[in-house]
Structure 1
Amino acid sequence: MGQIRLGGNPEISVTLRRSARARRLSLRVSQLDGRVTLTLPNAVSEKEGLRFLRDKEEWLRGHLSKRQAVVVVGPGARLPVEGVLHEIRPTSGRSVVQAGGLLLVPGEPDRMAARLKGWLRTRARDRLSEASDRYAEALGRPYSRLTLRDTRSRWGSCTHDGGLMYSWRLILGHPQVLDYVAAHEVAHLRHMNHSPEFWAEVTNLYGDWKAPRRWLRDHGAELHRYRFD
């Protein structure tokens, strides 16, 4: 892989990738971090790839301009909790307080993001444990453990030995989306696939899952724009 730059305002950094399996040139913008990748089949020259990139420049700039900016979590920033935006403000005390559209976070400003992240993870574990317990009881199959991660490729997973994993960032989205992901992963305790029987099980546990699944597809990447580091 290499790196090239498309001049202009702003300049765009593009990762150049060769692929023996690719049949045609392709340009991809990551929905998670906005990274631009140009994939070239082995038979295509870099010169031809650059020509393709310039032909697509207007589309690329338009696509990048529509992406929402990264939000650095700190005083004055606005952060969603269960789908509702809250403004972050410093406060005295020992615990994070959620009240009236505010998140009141104690401690030094440079530690606020870490403290808030810990608070969100605890809240996510509580909500996901409750939802997973409820759906597992309805299914009649227990899970073996529940872990939280900050995954970018998936919102949840289920292992063959009954372990459930979720992205803690689900707590930023609407509660029904978190509930749907829990039902989805619990349904895998019975069906380790995405067969019609699996989706029937999800429907039996959750109900009509199409809207929250569509929200994750269309808006889920937005939950990754909040930076806590």
Structure 2
Amino acid sequence: MTLRISRVDGSVTLTIPRGVSEREAMAFAAEKQDWVLGHLSQQAEHILVGPGQSLTVSDVPLQLIQGTSRRLRVVGQVIEVPDPLDTGRRHLLAWLKEQARAELVRASDLYSQKLGKPYTRLTLRDTRSRWGSCSSAGALMYSWRLVLAPRFVLEYVAAHEVAHLAEMNHSPAFWHVVEQLYGPHQEARVWLRHEGPHLHRYRFEA
């Protein structure tokens, strides 16, 4: 029997082999309660985004304030979130996805042209297990939350996925392509490993 705790959302998964009863499984989980609670206490708390908070988008720190109109407005480094707040959060999420798409299209186009291999389409999702992917048909997928990461991290993920247009694997040849497109990538990979899960702490629904 094994217990796993997601670094993204704190969900706890208990895996049991065949033949183990539910009573045995729950007893095992109860024995591990202190271990589970200890790990959960170390995770970053979720943040319900709203006025009075700040977000960094493409390396630009932005302050959220309560707006007076029904539309979201970005004035300099201030985002005016419209009323009612639930609607305002939806508008803010839509705006963030627009920024993410613009940044990821720009970066993907840059590396695709540098590689000399076009991609077929680009989609955004709110993925938990990966920051991007590239299908055998050349379709790129990214997490929109990359726009909340430092720009050098977003650039690395774009280069990584575009490199799969040439090498659909993680062989030494693949990492050579990433190096050619992006350059040294260890810092970005370390950032994603240690800080990436924190990007999922932002919530846009009460």
TM-score (norm 1): 0.81
Provide the rounded CA distance (Å) in 1 between the counterparts of 2:8 and 2:124: 19
Q: How many angstroms apart in 1 are the aligned matches of 2:201 and 2:64?
A: 16
- Output the CA distance in 2 between the equivalents of 1:162 and 1:185: 10
Percent identity between the aligned chains?
51
Cα gap change, 1:179 to 1:48, in 2 (>3 Å): same
Is the alpha carbon distance of 1:53 and 1:84 closer, same or farther for their aligned partners in structure 2, counting shifts above 3 Å? farther
For normalisation by structure 2, the TM-score amounts to: 0.89
In terms of mean alpha carbon deviation, does 219-228 or 43-52 score higher? 43-52
Within 5 Å, which residues of 2 pair with 1:97-116? 97=74, 99-100=76-77, 102-116=78-92
Aligned partner of residue 41 in structure 1, secondary structure: coil
Once the two structures are superposed, residues 140-160 of structure 1 have per-residue CA deviations (whole angstroms, 9 ceiling, x without a partner) of 111121111222222111122
Superposed CA RMSD: 2.0
Q: Which runs of 5+ in 2 are unaligned?
A: none
Given that 2:48 and 2:204 are in contact with CA atoms closer than 8 Å, whether structure 1 keeps it comes out as yes
Name structure 1 gaps, 5 residues minimum. Answer: 1-24
Contact 1:135 1:183 in 2 (8 A): yes
Determine if contact 1:180/1:212 at 8 Å carries over to the other structure.
yes
What pairs with 1:41-60 in structure 2 (closer than 5 Å)?
41-60=17-36
Q: 1:68-87 alignment to 2 at 5 Å?
A: 68-82=44-58, 86-87=62-63
Question: Structure with the greater relative contact order (CA < 8 A, sep ≥ 6): 1 or 2?
Answer: 2
Residue in structure 1 matching 2:118, options 127, 142, 150? 142
User: Displacement of 1:132 after TM fit?
Assistant: 0.6
CA distance in 1, matches of 2:94, 2:46: 20
Which of the pair has more CA radius of gyration? 1
Q: Distance in 1 between matches of 2:15 and 2:72?
A: 48
